[in-house]
Amino acid sequence: MHKLFLSLGAILLFATCSEPQQAQSTKGGALPSVETKDPNSPQYRPAFVGQTRVAGVKTQTPLNIQILSNDLKKPWAVISLPDGRLLITEKGGTFRIATTVGALSAPITGAPKVDDRGQGGLLDVALDPDFSNSRIIYWAFSEPVQGGNHTAVAKGRLSNDEATIENAKVIFQALPTYDGNKHYGSRLAFDKNGYLFVTTGERSDIIMRPKAQHLDAAVGKILRITKDGKAAPGNPFANTAGALPEIWSLGHRTPQGLDFHPETGELWESEMGPRGGDEINIIKPGVNYGWPTITYGIEYSGKTIGDGITQKAGLEQPTYYWDPVQSPSGITFYSGKLIPEWKNNLFVGGLSSKHIARLVIVNNKVVGEERLLEDQNQRFRDVGQGNDGALYAVTDEGRLYRISNK
């Protein structure tokens, strides 16, 4: 419960970009690309101009970077409550509430047990669209069962005293169950009709990868379900024989970011590739995003994946990709008023890259990229916008950041 603003030797950091630049955020980048390292797979070429390594941009607004807390236990997601406080998940299976000055609640208990080995645990959280009245929340987690585990979605009521989750109930299981500890996904996002989008990973191992292409498996997919965990009406494969009716899109590796564009309403996703080939995608119903048939990455061993192809008819190209990796996790579009030049920019938490990527987007194309908080040496697991117009980010190392203007 302590607040970590920097006095002498404390943790208040300022990032100021005062020199004039030719580029404006809405017009794209005019600086060199922020990526200077050689690609892991130089033999692969982008499918179109601007698909990777776009020009750099630089925020002109002086920024105020605050570390609000160092006391979180492997946080995974951060979202805003209606009153402006922050609801945070911790990988081990507990929720926390933080104020915007960094005071932390005691761990909130009551969620089903998670399998937190490897990449598993308590993952994303979303508020019911009627949370102000119902106090219902939804969360994704790796559910331990006989024979292994799987990504699951549960719902429950945040108690009035905020000490526990009441009437917790699993509403969806992304089958098949598998005895592994990687690539669960999983981000959650409600659409304007009150249906819940859920991302699932393909569980990483070679034996499971092909299931990202199989319509009878819920792994490697983006799903669209009701609040009760049933297939939402209008899903693209509802009338396809042998297909799971919950599937919205397929061919995903391990999608850990999901958000709606604030003006167009389109659904955007971030997805970790293998060694290179991390992606940003615009998600459309019924579309196949290609994994593992096409990819701009290679195996961690350096070997080629599949046939070593990056394009194939009927498979969607990423809107943007990184090589070497960004290791993208949580994403958010900026719609606040504190930093007008960031309007509709996409912010992407980076794990192995240890920074937050700011992407300037014009007509659904990435036209500028900036790296924020590189000097912090943190694995940024999630980034979200607060009700106050600031960005809030959590890191694997246990920090909670607030990013605003001076």
Cis peptide before 176 (omega within 30 of 0): yes
* pLDDT at residue 23, as a whole number: 33
pLDDT digits (tens, 9 = 90+) for 174-220: 999 999 999 999 999 999 999 999 999 999 999 999 999 999 999 99
Helix (H, G, I), strand (E, B) or coil at 11: coil
Residue range 361-403, pLDDT digits in tens: 999 999 999 999 999 999 999 999 999 999 999 999 999 999 9
Residues 6+ apart with CB under 8 A from 345: 25, 333, 334, 358, 359, 360, 361
What would the DSSP string read from start to end of 317-380? PPSEEESS---EEEEEE---SSSGGGTT-EEEEESTT-SEEEEEEETTEEEEEEEESGGG---E
Prior bond of 324 cis (ω within 30°): yes
User: For residue range 15-70, what is the model confidence (pLDDT) as tens digits?
Assistant: 333 332 333 344 678 899 999 999 999 999 999 999 999 999 999 999 999 999 99
- Domain positions in the chain are 12-405
- Domain 12-405: which CATH number of 3.30.420.40, 3.30.70.20, 3.40.50.300, 2.120.10.30: 2.120.10.30
183 in active site? yes
What confidence tens digit (pLDDT) does each residue in 306-343 have?
Answer: 999 999 999 999 999 999 989 999 999 999 999 999 99
Separate counts of helices (H) and strands (E) for the chain: 1, 24
- Whole-number Å distance between alpha carbons of 99 and 97: 7
Q: What is the pLDDT of residues 88-132, one digit of tens each?
A: 999 999 999 999 999 999 999 999 999 999 999 999 999 999 999
Residue 134 phi/psi, 5-degree rounding, is -90, -30
Q: 132: which 2 tokens?
A: 């102000």
pLDDT attached to residue 27: 61
Q: What is the DSSP string of 140-204?
A: EEEEEETTEEEEEEEEEEEPTTSSBEEEEEEEEEEEEEES--S-----EEE-TTS-EEEE----S
pLDDT digits (tens, 9 = 90+) for 123-164: 999 999 999 999 999 999 999 999 999 999 999 999 999 999
> Which residue among 183, 214, 252, 355 is the active-site one?
183
pLDDT digit string (tens) for 233-249? 999 999 999 999 999 99
Quick: pLDDT tens for 265-282: 999 999 999 999 999 999
Residue 14: pLDDT band by 50, 70, 90 thresholds? very low
Question: Do 122 and 111 form a contact (C-beta atoms < 8 A)?
Answer: yes
Q: What length does the chain have?
A: 406
What SS3 class is residue 134? helix
Average pLDDT over the chain, rounded to an integer? 93
Q: Please report where in the chains the tokens 């693209």 appear, as a residue.
A: 236
Write out pLDDT tens, residues 75-87: 999 999 999 999 9
- The phi-psi region of residue 364 (left if phi > 0; otherwise alpha if psi is between -120 and 50; otherwise beta) is left
